[in-house]
Structure 1
Amino acid sequence: MRSKKPATKIATASLLSLSLLGLGVPSFMGSADAASGPSVTSSQKNTKAITTLNQLYNQAFSGEMPKLVHGLKVDTSTIDDVHHQIGLPEEPAQPDDPFEKYHGSMGQASYAFAYGATGRIAEIRYFGTQIERQQNLGGITPAVLSQQIGSADHILSVPETNETDYVYQTGNYELHFVVGEDQTVDHVNLKAIAK
């Protein structure tokens, strides 16, 4: 039986030569388009970020944060309540950092908790999600804050980090949206108003 390899090599060489001469090779295949299916548009991403913003703002009036830590309340819930609801922290508090840190995964947000001398929550910090961040805190800018929940009651500068802190009074609590140099929210703090 005779080998077909020489014929294949000749055909390949001919097509390559025609292509190099600019004569091209006719294609009988249809255009190659990406598979069409559901995709997340920019407005959908922003809608999710706005939903998160409104949840954070509305629940701050009761001293709570949404989602995984819902029900844990600043100045009321204890360290034991936190550990019972979401487990022990991945990063315990340190002498130079009073926050117990919980890392998010699989679309869950990251949180941190600081406690007062009585063992009750003094502050809850929400870091949002790292995956699809644009659909969470990364989609919230100072303009979005202003459009959705109004002007901040106070705007503070954080010189150590070059961040800006947009503070909203929410009843007996303060909600702090800390905006990074990229002009998106880096994290959100919730604490009781100092008495």
Structure 2
Amino acid sequence: MDDLLKNFDSYGALALFVVFALPGFISLQVWSLLVPAAARNLKDIIPDAMAFGVLNAVVGAPVFLFFATTPGQTYALAVAALVVLPVFWPFAIKNVLKRLERAGLILNRARSGWDAAFLRREPFFVIVHLKDGRRLGGYYGYESYAGLHPCSGHIYLEALWSLDEQGRFLAPIPDSRGVVLRPDDYHFVELLASPEETNG
């Protein structure tokens, strides 16, 4: 009897892991690809993973129980409920949060002004005020990159531009392949209208 109870406990723990933890961790991994976040310890992400797992179980279990009438359907729905559906939740939640944010029902989710500016993914001219007093002109386009939280401030500009004494953009620097800057390299960054906005 004791052995039977031990086996039941083992199988029960495995079932709980498969039903809640596994889908939750899948959702959490997808979420981390959509929303930048600082690295966390396993014990800190377990509550979030379980929350995703509960959401997945609440929606997936009724569908599984209602439609799984044959072994083939059972297997297919199990894969869908435990692997495919968890991938969907982060996209759905992010979309809902974005709509609520645009409607003014929740606060802006950007962690900083830097993130708010670059999350728009719009091209613009950039003047970087370096700590040595120089000004660096560049173009932030679709091939450029700006780090977001927790790496805000790191930026790659795909092309450098020459500036006149008043800070006006003159022309692209020949053969420029851009520049990579760290937060410690500059004081602040100016963002100016891109060619698309100027011509539009």
- Provide the TM-score with structure 2 as the length reference: 0.23
Structure 1-normalised TM-score? 0.23
The structure with more helix, counted as a fraction of residues: 2
Structure with larger Rg: 1
- Specify which structure has the higher proportion of strand: 1
